[in-house]
Structure 1
Amino acid sequence: MLCDKFLRLQELYRKAAILALITISYNIIEGIVSVWFGAADETLSLFGFGLDSFVEVISGVGIWHMVRRLRRGEEEKRDSFERRALRITGGAFYLLAAGLVVTAGLSIYGGHRPETTVWGIVVSLVSISFMWLLIRHKMKVGKALNSPAILADAACSRACLLLSVVLLAASAGYELTGIGYLDSLGSLAIAWLSFREGREAFDKADGMACSCSCACGAAEKS
């Protein structure tokens, strides 16, 4: 029984590590493509979306590192690993949100218009399809392991899916109407979603710390 449970746990950790590596690889490619074409076409929403992809990379690296150590049997340190992964992800989202707000504000003030947003449409459609599959598998593994960090990583992927929808709306809207500030509004929407995901990551990390403190306090009193 214990052997079966151990093997099952190791299999779940293996799947979590694979999902983290897939997240890292995909988002590096997506980030490079989005930042490259976003800068070339002066498309702020696509450029911001690419930066968000690199935040996904940070989250994926944190999860991969955590799972790798847990697979080596360092289970007693699991909570500290998960809190660290959550806070790294949250901080990265906050930095991204701040940068996007400043850039979008300057863009609106200067009346900036992108050259084209066709690549934003292409990238967003690919991302929506891929993230939908990735979220399903991350949620399944995260629930099986009862891991707040893996579930938070799934939330990051869900945020990426929402960001893809925002990017698609902003990019298609500009191509159809030619209204320049739609691109900047899309960037602001991406900033808001990034800020929200960062706050949720920190809330989960603080909640884990509180639970740990309460448990320690109860142990001391007993």
Structure 2
Amino acid sequence: MATIRGAERDAEWIRAAGWARWLAWASLLWMCAEGAFGLWQGFTVGSISLIGWALGSAVEGLASVIVVWRFTGDRMLSETSERRAQRGVAISFWLIAPYIAVESVRNLLTGARPGTTVIGIALTAAALVLMPLLGWAKRRLGGRLNSRATAGEGTQNYLCAAQSAAVLLTLAVIALWPGGWWLDPAVGLVIAGVAVREGFQAWRGEDCGC
């Protein structure tokens, strides 16, 4: 098993790794709640953008699990584990895209109109505040640790914030103007496309920013 070079295994690096693991756990707890409530409300009102956003929470949760795995035990100092974690985060980006793309196209073709949800609006608004903070912290730690897996998880948080803004706007527009129903599947297609792109960048290791 290849290990991180000695110069990078100082006390500060170990502390940063601990913070990366702690933030991943915190993210995982939030994503579980976000995903559960998001799916509940999305299926209740028939909003594909909200369902896609909630499924994205599951994917982000998987990325958090991968980072926890990466920085636990002997894997903390393993370059091999870092590469595996990086690839795992990349794959997690791709898991969401097919379902969201298919459902978005179906809703555009059938004209399915989602309902409104106050809980969905509140949930996406909360994520819009929290996710950029988590993303900023994780990308800083990714640079300090030279960990593309950690930086990739942070990018997923930024992507979640962007999705939250789009879904929040969509839900608000639909609540005020039912004729804007088409925004819901359109935003779903954008979410699917961005997820595919970010997956390729993470796979190639372009996500570290360090």
- The answer to whether the superposition gives a TM-score over 0.5 is yes
Percent identity between matched residues is: 28
What is the CA-CA distance between 1:20 and the residue it aligns to? Answer: 0.7
The residue that corresponds to 2:140 in the other structure is 140
The residue that corresponds to 1:128 in the other structure is 128
| Distance in 1 between residues matched to 2:167 and 2:120, nearest whole Å | 6
Contact 2:142/2:151 (CA < 8 Å) preserved in 1? yes
| Distance in 2 between residues matched to 1:187 and 1:9, nearest whole Å | 39
| Cα deviation 1:76-120 (Å, max 9, x = unaligned) | x32x21222222222232231111110111111111011214333
Question: More helix per residue: 1 or 2?
Answer: 1
1:135-174 equivalences in 2 (<5 Å): 135-174=135-174
| Distance in 2 between residues matched to 1:32 and 1:200, nearest whole Å | 28
Contact 2:17/2:76 (CA < 8 Å) preserved in 1? no
- TM-score between the two structures when normalised by the length of structure 2: 0.88
Paired amino acid for 1:123: L
Paired amino acid for 1:197: E
| Distance in 2 between residues matched to 1:10 and 1:141, nearest whole Å | 11
Q: Indicate how the Cα distance of structure 1 residues 186 and 117 shifts in structure 2: closer, same or farther if over 3 A, else same.
A: farther
- How many aligned residue pairs are there? 199
The residue that corresponds to 1:106 in the other structure is 106
Q: Indicate how the Cα distance of structure 1 residues 73 and 40 shifts in structure 2: closer, same or farther if over 3 A, else same.
A: closer
Contact 2:64/2:153 (CA < 8 Å) preserved in 1? yes
| Distance in 2 between residues matched to 1:34 and 1:134, nearest whole Å | 19
What is the CA-CA distance between 1:143 and the residue it aligns to? Answer: 1.6
1:13-92 equivalences in 2 (<5 Å): 13-69=17-73, 72=74, 75=77, 77-78=78-79, 80-92=80-92
What is the CA-CA distance between 1:140 and the residue it aligns to? Answer: 2.1
The residue that corresponds to 1:9 in the other structure is 13
The residue that corresponds to 2:184 in the other structure is 183
Q: Indicate how the Cα distance of structure 1 residues 23 and 112 shifts in structure 2: closer, same or farther if over 3 A, else same.
A: same
Paired amino acid for 1:50: A
Q: Where do 5+ consecutive residues of structure 1 fail to align?
A: 208-222
Q: Where do 5+ consecutive residues of structure 2 fail to align?
A: 1-5
| Distance in 1 between residues matched to 2:166 and 2:105, nearest whole Å | 18
Paired amino acid for 1:46: L
| Distance in 2 between residues matched to 1:162 and 1:109, nearest whole Å | 25
| Distance in 2 between residues matched to 1:184 and 1:31, nearest whole Å | 19
Q: Indicate how the Cα distance of structure 1 residues 74 and 126 shifts in structure 2: closer, same or farther if over 3 A, else same.
A: closer
- TM-score between the two structures when normalised by the length of structure 1: 0.83
* Secondary structure of 1:204 counterpart: coil
**Larger radius of gyration between Structure 1 and Structure 2:** 1
Paired amino acid for 1:96: I
* Secondary structure of 2:46 counterpart: coil
* Secondary structure of 1:132 counterpart: helix
The residue that corresponds to 2:200 in the other structure is 199
